[in-house]
Amino acid sequence: MFYLAVNEEVYNSDAKKIAFALSYMTKGPALTWATTFRQKALVGSTIVMETFSVFIANFKTAFEHHNVKANAIAWLSTKRMIKKPRKDRR
């Protein structure tokens, strides 16, 4: 986001900002998400894209944990506290 703000004269449209962001999605789940986005955006020979704000919101929805509190409780319930032996102080 900072790079886009600093270079706003180059990335002066939503389409350019989205294309820039997609160019970094080259591996794993991000690549899959970007490929799906591109396929949905291509309508015939026309590219139809949403605003950059909507793009970011959709990306966050896809990758953010939806229930952070429940995930934290589940993670904590699988961990055990181990008492470390104390070194004798003399």
Q: What pTM was computed for the model?
A: 0.67
Beta bridge pairs of residue 43: 46
The C-alpha atoms of residue 55 and residue 17 are separated, in whole angstroms, by 10
Count of structural domains within the chain: 1
**82 located within any domain:** no
In a domain, residue 89? The reply is no
In-domain check, residue 46: yes
Residue 85 lies in a domain: no
41, part of any domain: yes
- Domain of 72 in residue numbering reads as 2-77
How far lies 72's CA from each of 31, 60, 62, in Å? 27, 19, 19
Residue 55 CB: number of other CB atoms within 10 A? 19
Q: What are the pLDDT digits (tens) for 5-34?
A: 899 999 999 999 999 999 999 999 999 999
* Cα atoms in the 13 Å half-sphere on the side-chain side of 51: 3
Q: What is residue 89's predicted lDDT score, i.e. its pLDDT? A: 61
Nearest-angstrom CA–CA distance, 72 and 75: 5
